[in-house]
Amino acid sequence: MTRRVYNFSAGPAVLPEEVLQQAAAEMLDWHGSGMSVMEMSHRGKEFISIYEAAERDLRELLAVPSNYRILFMQGGGIGENAIVPLNLIGRKPQPAVVDFVHTGSWSGKSIKEAKKYCKVNVAASSEEVKFKAIPPRDSWKLSKDAAYVHICTNETIDGVEFQYTPDVAVDTGNAPLVADMSSHILSRPVDVSKYGVIFAGAQKNIGPAGVTLVLVRDDLLGHALPICPSAFDWKLVADNNSMYNTPPTYGIYIAGLVFQWLKKQGGVAAMERRNVEKATLLYDYLDSTDFYSNNIAKESRSRMNVPFFLGDESLNDTFLAEAKARGLLQLKGHKSVGGMRASIYNAMPMEGVQALIDFLKEFEKKYG
């Protein structure tokens, strides 16, 4: 008998059950091909049709303008931390300057990697306040001639999220805005035209690990440094419709099923309404009691990743064990932050959040 839990993992993370069922049903014989998608040539008409549908659906879901290319790559978010500078700093005299806004663990990793390739200007940082809030836009010290400005729009580990798209063009001589959206892409509508590049590893809010989405504006293609690996040169990848090398075919297929599922749910605007509802319910409960706390500034709280602490941390192990016994899994916080974290991505149903809150209440009653 199949047993499904509520999986609050930050990633790889929960997927829509309908998608998993469809993938299971199509495992041995995809649409009468007599093959699993895993066994198909990436150049055959079957896989090309899967690829084209995935690209088309994603373009529709995020209203991606026609002057942007959608790339399905490998290397993950961490790979893009190198791939982005390798593709963008060549537009400027070397050594180029790149501006970063340091809002938590993931932007921190991006900064560290970029230092291998360019001069890094940390235009703003919330490190002094332990990454509990996004630094206000009017405090950023951007460079006049930055090659690009990098932000992480949802800090998965720290639980802070940009609730707006910052304007950086005026201060930087029109530098493109680059965003790591790995852990909240497709959770809310986004004005793609305000970004030069958006990238996202798939394993948080899209599908299986191994696929990395890159949305890149046309004019930013074709500037890769000579040392950039060919497989990571966005122009080569774009010119070959993500098939310069063999793409992660099965992951693209699952991502495509998730895109179809999102369309059936009403698209990203509908997902946003649900995500707001789920996050509000959870934060409101955490705020209503001293037994638990979330100490992120309200205007910067992530709708996707909700870190929280028990007032009495000696109860942490008991909490995790009792949660697990109830089928509520992966609630342990990241080791750098401690405490607990509930990741409530698109595929986490309201019932899962409700079950978590019911458990939080009962646990408090028992031990509070």
Residues that bind ligand PLP (CB under 6 A): 11, 76-79, 106, 152, 156, 180, 182-183, 201, 204
Q: Which is nearer to ligand PLP, 186 or 360 (CB)?
A: 186
Q: Which residues contact residue 359 at a Cβ distance below 8 angstroms, ignoring those fewer than 6 apart?
A: 322, 323, 326, 328
> Rounded to an integer, what distance in angstroms lies between the CA atom of residue 179 and that of residue 326?
37
| Closest C-alpha to 331, from 9, 4, 5 | 9
Residue from 30, 106, 140, 234 carrying the catalytic annotation: 106
Q: Which is nearer to ligand PLP, 40 or 149 (CB)?
A: 149
Q: Which is nearer to ligand PLP, 78 or 320 (CB)?
A: 78
Q: Which is nearer to ligand PLP, 81 or 249 (CB)?
A: 81
* Cis-peptide into 189, omega within 30 deg: no
Q: Measured in whole angstroms, how far is the alpha carbon of residue 34 from the centre of its chain? A: 34
CB of 236 to ligand PLP, least distance (A): 21
Q: Which is nearer to ligand PLP, 124 or 152 (CB)?
A: 152
List for the chain the helix, strand, coil content (%; round to 5): 40, 15, 40
CB of 62 to ligand PLP, least distance (A): 17
> Rounded to an integer, what distance in angstroms lies between the CA atom of residue 79 and that of residue 203?
14
9: helix, strand or coil = coil
- Known catalytic residue at 204: yes
**What is the dihedral sign for C-alpha 221, 106, 112, 191?**
positive
CB of 102 to ligand PLP, least distance (A): 13
Q: How many CB atoms lie within 10 A of CB 75?
A: 18
| Closest C-alpha to 188, from 267, 261, 133 | 267
CB of 305 to ligand PLP, least distance (A): 8
Residue from 180, 233, 234, 332 carrying the catalytic annotation: 180
Active site residues: 106, 180, 204
